[in-house]
């Protein structure tokens, strides 16, 4: 028996429903402001990366959207964006919306009702979970000396 494996259209969420653990989120937001680009050193020693913070929102509140490299010049204040497969990261304990390499960001013709600028979801502080260190190459495996 063969089942139809097509997935239903992804569910769109409001910014108020986002948590620090949110992944695979689809949101429709309006850009209310864009900060100046900054250069961030590459962790692996290559060329520095450019990042800018854009303030985006919907009728439930606003959040900071991180724009990387080519994304920076592609949006302007007042644009309505549909972000597909985005995720939330914590930057110094504050939520940031990201598109990432598996996500998509496109301008939309849909209207966003009045943006609620009274509620800032990026202003709340969250405790960042510490990652456990796992050695990449071997390390101690619990065996005795041979």
Nearest CA among 108, 101, 97 for reference residue 56 = 97
Q: Using one digit for the tens of pLDDT, what is the confidence trace for 94-119?
A: 899 999 889 999 999 999 889 999 99
Query: Going by C-beta distance under 8 Å and a sequence separation of 6 or more, which residues neighbour residue 21?
Result: 88
Tell me which of 2.40.50.140, 3.40.50.300, 2.60.40.10, 3.30.450.20 is the CATH number of domain 15-107: 2.40.50.140
Largest CA distance in the chain: 70
State residue 14's pLDDT score.
Answer: 95
For residue 6, is pLDDT > 50? no
Domain ranges of the chain: 15-107
142 — pLDDT class (breaks 50, 70, 90)? low
State CA 24 to chain mean position distance.
10
125 — pLDDT class (breaks 50, 70, 90)? confident
* pTM for the structure as a whole: 0.76
Most confident of 8-22, 110-124, 130-144: 110-124
């Amino acid at each position: 028996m063969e089942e139809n494996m097509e997935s239903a259209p992804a569910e769109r969420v409001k910014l108020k429903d986002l948590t620090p653990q949110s992944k695979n989120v689809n949101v429709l937001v309006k850009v209310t402001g864009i900060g100046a680009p900054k250069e961030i050193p590459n962790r692996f020693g290559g060329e520095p990366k450019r990042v800018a913070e854009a303030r985006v929102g919907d009728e439930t509140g606003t959040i900071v959207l991180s724009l990387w490299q080519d994304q920076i010049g592609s949006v302007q204040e007042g644009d309505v964006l549909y972000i597909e497969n985005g995720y939330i990261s914590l930057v110094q304990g504050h939520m940031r919306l990201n598109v990432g390499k598996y996500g998509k960001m496109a301008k939309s013709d849909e209207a966003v009702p009045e943006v609620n600028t009274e509620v800032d979801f990026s202003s709340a502080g969250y405790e960042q979970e510490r990652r456990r260190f796992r050695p990449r190459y071997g390390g101690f495996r619990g065996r005795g000396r041979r």
